[in-house]
Amino acid sequence: MSGFPFVTNKGELSLHVGTIKILTKSLSPLPEKFHGITDKELRYRQRYLDLIMNADVRRTFHMRSKVISLTRRFFEDKGFLEVETPMMHPIAGGANAKPFVTHHNALSIDRYLRIAPELYLKRLIVGGFEAVFEINRNFRNEGMDATHNPEFTSIEFYWAYKTYKDLIEITKDYFAYLFEHLDLPTVLPYGDIEVDYSQFTEIPLIESLTTIGGVPADIAVDKEKIIAYLKAAHVDVNVAMNLGQLQGELFDEYVEEKLINPTFITMYPVEISPLARRNDENPELTDRFELFIAGREIANAFSELNDPLDQKERFEGQMAAKECGGDDEAHEMDADFINALSYGMAPTAGQGIGMDRLVMLLTNEHSIRDVLLFPAMKPLPTECQADEETEEK
């Protein structure tokens, strides 16, 4: 609109409007200004309204954008090359998870939405790119809750001629870099707790079972004793599990939630680390760590298994688990990946970080839906669908 300013009889500076132009139709009224919208379902389904009404929601997504941008810059500055690998895979590999299935009509074959980019990124290491990363979506056909959305964003990066120990260092650097550029204090609240991001500690998994989890040392390394221990505590336990899997159970049950300040849990059993390199001194363990913050896993990293024969055996072990143990989320055999390794993959360390969960920590949000602009929601029934249903009945 345009016009000229004037002062009213009561002294109020005003604009005398000469012309006015409507820019757009606005048919629906906005929610009330004072209370805004608080109904979570409405906020998620109509995020546009949520963004109009709630400044703190806008702040959260600005923060998310900055985190992604800084992450990209951090790795580029270290010489990493950003790449894009397929989202539709012929074999769902690189993680233990149920995939979404889709169909390619022209080729007449099923495809899986990727559950992880890992095996493709490692092929690129074979191809001679010595430091690569990808920030993108993964899809997992599993339950949804406060920390799981069917599609989520992760960064995975692979670094040739490095080990998991180098990854611990770069992870610390990465957090320091984020905190510096986001201008955050090193101690951040997360709900009722406080997390000190200047205190990164490191502890081997089996040691954590006793020192943090309070599991007696003799029990933590004995399959039968763990089963008895878990049963005594009324924890459901699958007796078909091997020692490594049972140790993983103990960790989930007694240790994970107690890891508040950033903690690298290292030396995972080989049975639960099908893609990680064995430790030189103890081949039952792997050169791997997971980073836990506020009782939650934030990152998973390891020196990569680059022995094609060992990798093939591990895949075969996974397939056996799939058929015998009922582990329907075990890895599938990826023959081309084995083939790639057979040409020689440099010793490499690789890591994945869940970006959504990281943003949750930095913004003190407790639901992954609050850091996703459009979280997955069941569609509301439409009139057409309602008709179809009544016809079926």
| CA dist., res. 266 & res. 158, Å (int) | 18
Q: Looking at beta carbons only, is 30 or 101 nearer to RNA? A: 30
Binding residues for RNA, rule: CB under 7 A, are 8-12, 14, 28-42, 44, 95-97, 140, 142-143, 145-146, 148, 236, 248, 252, 290, 297, 300, 329, 354, 366-367, 369, 375, 377-378, 380-381
Strand partners, 137: 153
SS3 293: strand
CB 7 to RNA: min, Å:
7
Q: Angle CA(273)–CA(278)–CA(284) in degrees, nearest 5?
A: 80
CB 360 to RNA: min, Å:
12
Instruction: List, in order, residues 6 or more apart from 207 with CB less than 8 Å away.
Output: none
Using alpha carbons, list the distances in angstroms from residue 381 to 46, 133, 333, 387: 16, 40, 40, 10
Q: Looking at beta carbons only, is 148 or 312 nearer to RNA? A: 148
Strand partners, 189: 194
Closest by Cα among 55, 113, 52 to 87? 113
Q: Looking at beta carbons only, is 36 or 347 nearer to RNA? A: 36
Q: Angle CA(245)–CA(251)–CA(252) in degrees, nearest 5?
A: 90
| CA dist., res. 224 & res. 214, Å (int) | 18
CB 286 to RNA: min, Å:
12
Q: What residue type is 210 in one-letter code?
A: T
| CA dist., res. 249 & res. 255, Å (int) | 10
CB 334 to RNA: min, Å:
16
Question: What CA dihedral angle connects 77, 341, 345 and 136, to 10 degrees?
Answer: 10
Q: Looking at beta carbons only, is 30 or 88 nearer to RNA? A: 30
Q: Looking at beta carbons only, is 41 or 316 nearer to RNA? A: 41
CB 39 to RNA: min, Å:
3
Q: Looking at beta carbons only, is 64 or 126 nearer to RNA? A: 64
SS3 6: strand
CB 391 to RNA: min, Å:
15
CB 271 to RNA: min, Å:
13
| CA dist., res. 24 & res. 296, Å (int) | 46
CB 349 to RNA: min, Å:
16
Q: Looking at beta carbons only, is 142 or 387 nearer to RNA? A: 142
Q: Looking at beta carbons only, is 218 or 236 nearer to RNA? A: 236
Q: Are 206 and 266 in contact (CB under 8 A)?
A: no
